[in-house]
Structure 1
Amino acid sequence: MVSWRGSLLHYETLVCSHPKEFKVLHQTLNTTLLHITWVILHSYIF
């Protein structure tokens, strides 16, 4: 669990040093995840 917290802290440090780039990356990841979830849900429903 120490490595998980360490990597999270490292990620937060990166976000603080490059806020604009990470905001775009984060939005892209969220959109992609939403799209994948949507596709999976639809393939199960229909």
Structure 2
Amino acid sequence: MKLVRFGLLTTIPISVIGIIQNEVGYFSVALALLIVFSLIQKGGVQQ
């Protein structure tokens, strides 16, 4: 779970930067979030 929390802490600033840069950056971050949440639902990221 520490990896999940670390991922969220690193993803939020990246998403903010993406929004500031352009809509394409925001879309890529949203897509990355969907992938992360889908992995969490499947039982977390495999180490």
- Bigger fraction of residues in helix: 1
Q: TM-score range by the shorter chain?
A: 0.3 to 0.5
What TM-score results when the alignment is normalised by the length of structure 2? 0.46
What TM-score results when the alignment is normalised by the length of structure 1? 0.47
Larger RCO, structures 1/2 (Cα 8 Å, 6+ apart): 2
